[in-house]
Structure 1
């Protein structure tokens, strides 16, 4: 499985609400429901502003643009940045999934998309490795993404039997395709996990580590895969990803282990062996260093949280 597919598989995003938003006039919504969630939306008609706390300047979105908010940062979306903001959690009723919410009569701006729930502390940690805004601008070569969005809009507006489930399935495809296009079009100098994946040399190393997490990778081996000197590779990897190659490998192993612990299908011994650890003790030590909890405590707390 390739790294992006693995990321989505470990996050296990469940579409919690898939809906449309049709607005007009002056409006502003505070997206106050982002913690532990991913927002993925497309602007189907008109233009609006998106302001995110970790980005200095507001972003102008136009028809055809898609955007993903993966890190839980506070955000504001508005037709007018001076308008009195209202909470999205109150305006966009979560019980109206599969419907189109009309605001101020509608007609000027239309957005469609989903809010995805992700499970577990490991998922939240993984989301923090992504940029606060993932944006794909409108373009003529986005035919597949446009198809998913158009089909979703038809389902939301059509009211046919099974429309809600169809819209949710399409929203997962929209999320994956948006991330894929973002990786393909990343500008030079971008930093982060997706930026490393987009780099041909570093991306090859990430794929190697993900395909064989149990292998005892060394910086020298990874540098050879990248076709770089050990020093250049280590320096470039740290600059693009934000940590050393071995630190990344350990963290990815622990995120994979956390996902398996939540599923509860494997024993700790099976998990530790699948990730290249010679003993449960070595695995337990590494897991606690990364997550702050022992594997058993982590699994128990996640189970209790799911049942609460």
Structure 2
């Protein structure tokens, strides 16, 4: 697995489809914040997206899609100056999986949301902008709409297992949107996601994720990245915000925390599997990163 696959697997990204929407004429809807991450794809027509906290509206055209990574209110409308009515009553009146607003059928949207398990915001979402807008002319938009086409088909045909297939296709869509973000000119120059595409940091990250239990040193990670120790250490700290071994400690603790949440193995087994020679070594690292002991963390999770 590469680091992005590791994180998406660890946080358990799951796609959930929502009611489709058809709109036309002069219309506007205001949506309440949703847990997780919201996505929409414009299948037909044009509209405008406004997001609380962002100064400018985002024009959307057929083939565009967007991802909202923060639980904030947002609006969709025929134009930026149209008053917004609450979306919940409109969607409560939906029939055959479609909500209708306005006086015509000029705009069609299909969307949903992604839910995640523990630690998604710290591991992934905090490193993303509030909105990722994927224009129709990008390669990633083609891939997103390939997934959307099949999601739409699964929902319409209602065959056995259609919901599960559609949810997996939605995760494919999420990966394509993240790929677009990483390749975009406006992608951040710093942060964990930026490190994935950095020519020096990326190889070191992939090496650590491929074998987190390995006895990595800065020297061996520098060899994986084919640079000097000082170059790797300086570049890693500039891009990621911490040294390579500090990052490795954090990732090992995340893996251990996941095992503890799933009650998968004894503390000694978990410590060995994530790269620590003893329970006490894992406990020291775990306490330093999370502020809690492994046993206290496991008890707290299973008492919820």
How would you bin the TM-score normalised by the shorter chain?
Answer: 0.7 to 0.9
User: Bigger radius of gyration, 1 or 2?
Assistant: 2
The answer for the alignment partner of 1:33 in structure 2 is 34
The answer for the alignment partner of 2:8 in structure 1 is 8
Q: SS of the counterpart of 2:146?
A: helix
Q: SS of the counterpart of 1:200?
A: coil
Superposed displacement of residue 266, structure 1: 1.9
Give per-residue Cα distances to partners, 1:122-173, cap 9 Å, x unaligned: 33321344213333322263443321111222334x2534443442232122
Unaligned runs of 5+ in 1: none
What TM-score, normalized to structure 1?
Answer: 0.82
The answer for the alignment partner of 1:115 in structure 2 is 113
Aligned residues: 299
The answer for the alignment partner of 2:271 in structure 1 is 272
Q: Decide whether the 8 Å contact of 1:186 with 1:195 is kept in 2.
A: no
Q: SS of the counterpart of 1:114?
A: strand
Are residue 131 (structure 1) and residue 113 (structure 2) matched? no
Superposed displacement of residue 194, structure 1: 1.9
CA distance in 1, matches of 2:251, 2:87: 34
CA distance in 2, matches of 1:160, 1:188: 38
CA distance in 2, matches of 1:45, 1:92: 19
CA distance in 1, matches of 2:238, 2:230: 12
Greater alpha carbon shift after TM alignment, 262-271 vs 52-61: 52-61
Structure 1 residues 296 and 92, CA, compared in 2 at 3 Å: closer, same or farther? farther
Q: Decide whether the 8 Å contact of 2:14 with 2:168 is kept in 1.
A: no
Superposed displacement of residue 188, structure 1: 6.5
CA distance in 2, matches of 1:168, 1:241: 31
Q: CA RMSD in A?
A: 3.0
Superposed displacement of residue 193, structure 1: 2.0
Give per-residue Cα distances to partners, 1:90-148, cap 9 Å, x unaligned: 6556x98993332335623322232122122x333213442133333222634433211
Give per-residue Cα distances to partners, 1:203-251, cap 9 Å, x unaligned: 1111001011112323333233323343333333233223332222222
Give per-residue Cα distances to partners, 1:178-212, cap 9 Å, x unaligned: 22343344546533222211223221111001011
Question: How do 1:97-116 and structure 2 match up within 5 A?
Answer: 99-104=97-102, 107-116=105-114
Are residue 61 (structure 1) and residue 60 (structure 2) matched? yes
Q: SS of the counterpart of 2:298?
A: helix
